[in-house]
Homo-oligomer: A and B are copies of this chain.
């Protein structure tokens, strides 16, 4: 798998991530070959991180886009869909492991208030109900910021006694781990994307994904079916589909989607052209190499293709039409 060509080409691209230090986003960025996360910029919200790329203060930022337990990260989906164009140039999958961490000296039975990000709470609340049934939840901006506020010497006085966070965040902030692996779903994984300004599209690798947002022309019954048929008729599989409100009124949606394949492939290009013709608007958010889920063999994640939809099939069909148009048979 060749490395994606981050754009604009710089000898020394400036990276950022949804932070502070110790978030899962930093772990995802660390998976990119050649990136030193210590030199990268931690940005406290997804919105701000993307804004820094739009303004060219950063060249690429790693942000969460989808969680196997909580679903789409709506802040990311919405920030990508609006504003100056950005594209995804890489994805990363990070297994999610939570610890309950507190200042040294605090014991588990003394924990009455737990601070963390809402998505993290959602993934640990089963454990919390059993292990610390008296504790209440206090929302925080991120799992890392929840633990950072507890760091001895931080000067903060957060309204909670313990934080649910990544193991690395507990370590960075000098906290005591009261309980390991407290996530309710041991196979939880979060998908992150590296977002850059449009430039050269990463080369196709044979196992790629394409992300886009499509807006229907109106809310007629069957409109979504027609949209999905643009993919089905070319044998392009959708691996993610989420409706997002357009903000205009209840019941008015756009659809954020990942499909298998690369815009350089005929089957994907034709499906996208079909959407472009039939939708009010289509926003292309990048073609990039598919990440392999941790612990999986590469081949097992490749979906089966409908017969007649390979690149060779498209090439042969085009040659046939060209011959017919020239008067052949």
Contact = CB atoms under 8 A, between A and B. Distances in A.
A93 B250 contact: yes
Nearest to A199: B327
A313 interface: yes
Given A264-B325, A317-B277, A229 B229 contact: yes
Nearest to A226: B233
A87 B329 contact: yes
Nearest to A68: B250
Given A139-B140, A263-B321, A263-B324, A70 B66 contact: no
Interface in A134-182: 137-141, 158-159
Nearest to A212: B324
Contacts of A299: none
A276 interface: yes
A232 B242 contact: no
B221 A284 contact: no
Interface in A219-260: 221-222, 224-226, 228-230, 232-245, 247-253
A159 B238 CA distance: 43
B66 A250 contact: yes
Contacts of A252: 68
B248 A235 contact: no
Interface stretch (A28-36, A103-111, A266-274): A266-274
A321 B185 contact: no
A228 to B, nearest CB: 5
A124 interface: no
Contacts of A159: 158-159
A198 interface: yes
Interface in A300-328: 303, 306-309, 313-314, 316-318, 320-321, 324-325, 327-328
B238 A7 contact: no
B140 A316 contact: no
A56 interface: no
A39 to B, nearest CB: 25
Contacts of A230: 233
Contacts of A309: 277
A321 B270 CA distance: 9
Contact of A277 (B78, B221, B314): B314
Contacts of A237: 221
Contacts of A224: 228, 238, 241
